[in-house]
Amino acid sequence: MRVIRQDDRRSNPRAGFRFAPSGPGTNQARVWRRLGAVEDARAPEILTPLQSHYLVTGHHCLVATNSPTVLGAARNFFRLNADPKSSPSLTLRFWVDRDASGFSLRPQPVFRGLGHLAHARFGSEDSVLLDLRRGLAIGRFSSSMAGDLDYWQRVILPALVGLASDALGVTVIHSACVEREGEGLLLAGESGAGKSTLALALARIGFSFLSDDWTYLALAGGELSAWGLATPLKLLPESVRFFPELRDLTPGVALNGERSYEFDPEVVFGIRRSLRCQPRCLVFLDRHRKPGHTFIELPPEHAAQRLGSAQGRLPAELSGLRKIQRETIATLVGRECWMLRYGEDPETTAQFLGRFFSSRLRCARRSDPATDLPAFTRRGPDPTRRLTATGWAGDFSLKGHSIRLRTNSSSILRQVGRSLPALPTSQLPRQTFSWRLICEGDAARSWPLPELSSISADGLHLVNIGCNSFLAADAAARVGVGFLENKLVKDGRFEQVVLARLASMTKAARQWQSGPSTNVQNVFERPAKIKR
């Protein structure tokens, strides 16, 4: 039985991989028997009746939940209200399961994704699935996590806005930002260039603080806006020599693993915070050992190359975002772009920058987008691993449904091929459900949790398997993705755990396509036990 299509032979060095034919229905019958209990494990309809509308990076965001605590966390974080009569660009649906077992341990969050689906896991019972095409996120949280307001403001909500920026058409740049009189000064540079310390120092001499690490750029009707989030400010421990107020705080471990201070600058330093401005100047920071300050004006094409190369690569499903990001960057570099080489302390440099910015405010603002910019090569990171190649491919019949499977693992394809009959390409119907499964190395650390937990809403289906594996499906797009630990792929229960869930999710997605009902749109599936 050939499972890699003929058109893959030239581009795939593994083409030609074959399996022995499966017996007629023998393994399938076993899969369906084990599947029966899973398909019926549905609880009554869940509701997210509490709703609020906010303005996030210039876009209408609807937050819906069943938890007043979570709604309060969103209110404290987003702050700016949106008109509830307008249609939201982003919908965040958070369901708190009162029966979920939460743990005080907060592991490092894990982000994964393929195509237009992204997955975020924040704890043993806490995860979110995002559909970047529709601007929709569904999540399930334990009561313990719902009550951790600091973690929502410091980790969960900033991470979800960052992941959803692709859905909103927002361009994220690695820069700090402060503003005065509505005019923004953006400070770009590599990690360690001094963005955060200078942003705080500038805020202490009269600027309003907008962001210290990531700034969100939104272009609408030719108007460019810079947006920040009400996140804690992060400074490294050595910053205490410039800011004695930090001595009363205790440093912790940040998301990137660095030991640092994370605090609310409004509370600790009494500075003003702003959430939006009109960018006026873009300054790239270049820290030197030599004392002094030197400004060098940068041509727009050089500034665009710096910003553009830091952008992450995009999958084909989100290719339209490339044009938006390019137009946004062209508009930004059409303003004033400078490089500042400095070797002084933050306070002295902030005074110098403040005088420079005040002098630029007296000049006419340049606002025409830069033209004839050269193409830039994107070298940004791929933290969600959404660009993982899936060179192995096969077409199969699954309980009356056809699926097209792509994976990076011959082991996954072999496991599926042992249980499901192959379909020749000529027999594939037009509406084939597409699955992409990624096998990755086993996590270095796991934490206790139920073996299976899942949630479905608005045509999205998410199943978490164990500590570090998941399956996710989008019924509207007829696609599913999954990241599976290597030990799960090689486990003897692969058929019972992964294939049974994959079959159930494919069937549920087909039913949703044929006419979603209220009982399908909001359904939580209780954790299912796996026979050992």
What is the C-alpha separation between 70 and 149, in angstroms, rounded?
Answer: 8
Q: What are phi and psi of 340, to 5 degrees?
A: -110, 115
pLDDT at 449 over 50: no
Query: What was the pLDDT predicted at 526?
Result: 34
- pLDDT above 60: residue 174: yes
Q: Residue 354 pLDDT more than 90?
A: yes
Superfamily of domain 171-361: P-loop containing nucleotide triphosphate hydrolases (3.40.50.300)
Asked whether residue 497 carries a pLDDT value surpassing 80, the answer given is yes
pLDDT at 137: 96
Q: Among all chains, which residue has been given the structure tokens 């137009």? A: 327
SS3 357: helix
Q: Give the least confident one: 313-327, 363-377, 460-474.
A: 363-377
Both tokens assigned to 87? 């249609």
Evaluate whether 377 touches 309 at the Cβ level (below 8 Å).
yes
Q: Around Cβ 250, how many Cβ atoms within 10 Å?
A: 6
**DSSP annotation of 12:** -
**Per-residue confidence (pLDDT) for residue 338, from 0 to 100:** 94
Position 65 scores a pLDDT of 96
- Give residue 428's pLDDT: 63
| Each residue's pLDDT tens digit, 3-37 | 333 233 333 333 322 233 333 344 444 444 444 43
* pLDDT tens-digit readout, 242-270: 999 999 999 888 777 788 999 999 999 99
Q: Does the pLDDT value for residue 155 go beyond 60?
A: yes
Q: Would you list the domain boundaries of the chain?
A: 6-40+388-525, 50-168, 171-361
Q: Containing H/E element for 220?
A: strand 215-220
Confidence (pTM) = 0.85
Closest Cα partner for 96 from 139, 154, 137, 52?
A: 139
Smallest Cα–Cα separation from 43: which of 453, 475, 515?
453
Distance of alpha carbon 57 from alpha carbon 59, whole angstroms: 6
* Model confidence pLDDT, tens digit, residues 94-141: 999 988 876 666 778 899 999 999 999 998 789 999 999 999 999 999
CA distance 90 to 55: 10
**Least confident among 28-37, 44-53, 58-67, 292-301:** 28-37
Question: What is the helix (H) or strand (E) element at residue 326, kind and residue range?
Answer: helix 320-333
Of 274 and 21, more confident: 274
Q: Which two tokens stand for residue 169?
A: 């058409």
Residue-level pLDDT at 188: 95
Asked if residues 284 and 189 have their Cβ atoms less than 8 Å apart, the reply is yes
Residues of the chain with pLDDT > 90: what percent? 54
**Beta carbons of 141 and 125 less than 8 angstroms apart:** yes
pLDDT of residue 176: 97
The stretch 29-46 carries a mean pLDDT of 44
- Higher pLDDT: 188 or 530? It is 188
| pLDDT value of residue 18 | 29
Q: How far apart are CA 186 and CA 285, in angstroms?
A: 10
Between 294 and 423, where is the model more confident?
Answer: 294
Compute φ and ψ for 449, nearest 5 degrees. Answer: -170, 160
Contact between residue 340 and residue 288 where contact means Cβ atoms under 8 Å apart = no
Q: What is the mean pLDDT of residues 44-52?
A: 78
* pLDDT, mean of residues 476-501: 89
As a whole number of Å, the end-to-end CA separation of the chain is 31
Percent with pLDDT over 70 in the chain: 81
List Cβ<8 Å contacts ≥24 apart for 266-273: 269/200, 269/203, 269/204, 269/243, 269/245, 271/200, 271/203, 271/204, 271/208, 271/209, 272/203, 272/208, 272/209, 273/208, 273/209, 273/210, 273/228, 273/230
Residue 429 has pLDDT above 70, yes or no: no
- Average per-residue pLDDT for the chain: 82
